Structure 1
Amino acid sequence: MDIDYSLIWALIIMFSIMMYVIMDGFDLGIGLLFPFVPDETDRDVMMNTVAPVWDGNETWLVMGGAGLFAAFPLAYSVVLSAIYLPAIFMVIALVFRGVAFEFRFKASPERRHFWDKAFIGGSLVATFSQGVLLGAFITGLPVEGRAYAGGPFDWLTPFSLFCGAALLVAFALLGCTWLIMRTEGDLQRRMHDLGKPLTWALLIITGIVSLWTALAHQDIADRWFTLPNLYWFMPVPILVLLCTVFLLRSIESYAHYSPFLLTLGLIFLGYSGLGISLWPNIIPPEVSIWEAAAPPQSQAFALVGALVIIPIILVYTAWSYYVFRGKVTAEHGYH
């Protein structure tokens, strides 16, 4: 029986990207929420909720990029050529944000405001750049002769900019519900107050992105709205509405854990909707995972390493989150 290595690698890369979105999403979201929390003690608590795990969260971004390079070199070369500038902005912002994260705790009170602004700016630019990358990817990348055929600024479109704004809202909500789960007292109440408008904003923006995508791409509209596909895919928007209703109720009832879990559900449903729209194309709108694949021997060789390293990453990630579980306070740290 022939093994479809391209399919296996596509699933690995999709899983890696999803893990990055979830785990670095709330991390970036905390930086986006900093302007709404002026108190320095509360900001210390916010950063302490992710201090032991924030750098490990970005492991999945490296895993996804390395997997794309190893298994789908054509996609790697075309996609990186198309979104080179926003990708550079994202990397610089992540580096600057990491420096700000470490230096903030060591800075004098007079200098701390500078690193606070650096942390906010790095989170803002990194998140917005990732949203722009997503928007450019959905729009499609022209390919001629197995090379990118567009210009250096083709990624700069109204749709990609709107996707950047949409991801800001999504990560802010993820960070907000993470803080609801990990903090208590006035800071937690402030996050409950922010959670409801952020949820409504995310629902509205998700609807706009979905309609915009369908109106701009007839093939995606046909996939979603023709029979019998409509019956198969209808559970996705229905589940989005149900998750939103339960999320709003959990925030209103001042729940601790369910808001974060329901937000994760919304992020996963949005990600699955994107997969349904684009599958099996790894370079939209026409290049499939099989057309962009490396030779099977290369994919098999790289898969051996991936099957060893991915369980290790999962184990140490789960262990770190388990060790640093519980509420974080200004007085006692973890308890």
Structure 2
Amino acid sequence: MKQIKFFVQIFLVFLLLASCNQKPQIGLLMDTTARERWVKDRDAFVEKIEENKGSVIVKVADSDPDLQFQQGLELINQGVDVLVIIPVDMVVAAGIVKMAKNQNIPVISYDRLIRDAEIDFFVSTDAIDIGEKQAKFLTTIAPAGNYALIGGPTSDNNSYQLYLGWMNILQPLVDRGDIKIVGSKFVDHWDSEDGYEMIKSIIDSGETIDAIIAGNDALAEGAIQELKEAGLAGKVLVAGQDADISAIRNIILGDQTITVYKPVVSMAYNAADAAIKMAKGKTPTDNMSFTVNNGNHLVPAILLNGQVVNKQNIRMTVVSEGFVEEQEIFE
């Protein structure tokens, strides 16, 4: 009897040691890696998880919400310790969260808030503040004139937040009659074709445009392509977001006025740190700076600040921080 008890104790110790040595496994669900900024997010996140002795399974949905749902189910069935989601569609992503919580898997919403869901943590930038920064910069240069607003898809909560930021600055000028909104639309996708089509429709209608505020640099890039075809490139102010290399080049050429640099490496590191802590049963509140109401509850959050990048400060911002290599700009 004593011998059996001894072997049981040895077996329990073995199980305990095995569980202690097991790497935390983190699932990362991504919308896309088609734009270089998302590649930077992914690489920084994976680097930080591995630095903390964890492992990552990355799934990329190529902007297909149904595929992302299936990928989420796969990761949940694989038994990941924590799920980090960059949602394609916040409604569909809420379904992934529900499945994860049924299996007691913590969920971090990354960059884009998943609304009406039981998420545990949110890491992003302050999208309202970014929208205000875009609008403030352009209205300082052009306090009067015709403005076009290209919002992102309504499946992304950031689209609404950016629009609120724009209108916080623009509405008083609209009310005074100084600024006229000649076009304002939430497009279907965060891509250049949607930006191109919207600005083309405004120009084809005969309206003049003095300034364009776009939800990201891909939409701004499409707008600039139409401006080039209309002979207006460099004559219309254009604001974007994400500090894509194509946007930096357009700023150097004078075709784009500003972009907003989001500190994606810091965002990814914060999300990775939070994921590792959650995998170990800890609460990642050390760097928490905010709570955000997602319609379900107040979500603990880290919201970092974006930074305006223009022709004068490219070297002092994205280059000095290593986000963009200077030689890349002039390739």
Whether TM exceeds 0.5 here: the answer is no
Q: Which structure has the larger Rg over C-alpha atoms? A: 2
TM-score using structure 1 length: 0.28
TM-score using structure 2 length: 0.28
> Using CA pairs below 8 Å that are at least 6 residues apart, which structure has the higher relative contact order?
1
